[in-house]
Amino acid sequence: MIATTNISADLQQIAEKVKSGQRITDQEGLLLFEKASLGFVGSLANEVRIRKNGDKVYFNRNFHIEPTNVCVFSCNFCSYSKLYAKREEGWELSIDQMLDIVKKYDGQPVTEVHIVGGVHPKMDLQFFADLIRAIKAHRPDLHIKAFTAVEYDYMFRKAKVTVEEGLKFLMAAGLNSIPGGGAEIFHPEIREKICADKVDAAGWLLIHETAHKLGLYSNATMLFGTIEKYEHRIEHMRRLRELQDRSGGFNTFIPLKFRNKDNDMSYVPESSVVEDMKTYAIARIYLDNFPHIKAYWPMLGRQNAQLSLSFGVDDIDGTIDDTTKIYSMAGSEEQTPSMTTAELVTLIKQAKRVPVERDTLYNEITNYALTD
């Protein structure tokens, strides 16, 4: 816990730093979690949001491909994957099957395909390079955002190539950027308890830093609401902030709420909406060098994603089109995650924000305030 004789004075000092654009410390971030009210952090987060992005809220037209939910790893918080040894309930898509998913969007103005899934021992580096080439051959303009650091770590080690060699190989095939999954919580004690057998924090950070050096942008995530403490969240964000200082390659930070349905951590109660909003707000305040904070609406539900726009969030992801099962299988309110562009625009406008359709790298495609 924070030891201080005058909480109000300390919080006021933090407020003054944030308003003047100064960076807050880890101790100050911890104080916000432990002592600040939701209204206090929400107000400060919105000041940062407005300074960086005005009243714009971004979304894109995207869909997901999940090659498999069969996985060699056994993360305790996961409701999605099926162990490779027990894969009766799993799926394993061929390249042709995945290309058929892409073809469903022929003639539609989608700009991004997001490819993530389980870690399948038969889906190796060459397999995924062939998949990327097939997608690019069919639709060259489609931005391919693919594979978490967990997937990269496994496929590169299996192929006996370095991170740089592996990324260059996939970039040559057409890889455009990297999602932020697999970060979970970086602290080794927590990681040991919730996802002991997959890539550690150093490995995750190395993959993203190498990607940035090669010119690939990426996202970053944090799984919150399992067994971590506030200091673990702050340490996680500090390591991301430090990497962003070095590389500048992160587009957005995405706090991911733990969902407790049908997994080995079902005994852990889910965090409250207040806790969720406070986490978004403090992330916006602390991560001063991240241009965007995203609320992933299929995980939060569309109403809570809309609420997050009052707590520093300026991005709510994309149309999705019911192409992801990761959070619906874990008990999200969104069991069929799909929103049309019109629905997203309406949701954002109801929150008194300006909807902006973007591409993956945040280039503006349509500003809906200007088209009305």
Instruction: Give the span between the Cα atoms of 199 and 191, in whole angstroms.
Output: 10
Does an H or E element contain 355, and which?
A: strand 354-358
Q: Are 241 and 287 contacting, i.e. CB atoms less than 8 angstroms apart?
A: yes
Which of 127-141, 238-252, 258-272, 277-291 has the weakest average pLDDT? 258-272
Q: Which two tokens stand for residue 36?
A: 């600040």
Q: What integer best gives the mean pLDDT of the chain?
A: 89
Give the pLDDT band of residue 325 (cuts 50, 70, 90): very low
Give the pLDDT band of residue 119 (cuts 50, 70, 90): confident
More confident residue, 140 or 345: 140
pLDDT, one tens digit per residue, over 86-114 is 555 678 899 999 999 999 999 999 999 99
Give the pLDDT band of residue 324 (cuts 50, 70, 90): very low
Instruction: Give the span between the Cα atoms of 324 and 333, in whole angstroms.
Output: 13
Instruction: Give the span between the Cα atoms of 320 and 144, in whole angstroms.
Output: 14
Record the pTM. 0.90
Query: Using CA of residue 73, residue 89, residue 317, residue 232, what is the dihedral sign?
Result: negative
pLDDT attached to residue 123: 87
pLDDT attached to residue 90: 73
Name residue 319's amino acid: T
Q: Which two tokens stand for residue 170?
A: 């996939």
Give the pLDDT band of residue 331 (cuts 50, 70, 90): very low
Which one-letter DSSP state was computed for residue 335? S
Name residue 88's amino acid: E
pLDDT, one tens digit per residue, over 9-37 is 999 999 999 999 999 999 999 999 999 99
Does an H or E element contain 251, and which?
A: strand 250-257
pLDDT attached to residue 83: 55
Give the pLDDT band of residue 81 (cuts 50, 70, 90): low
Largest CA distance in the chain: 64
Domains observed in the chain: 56-371 (3.20.20.70)
pLDDT attached to residue 91: 80
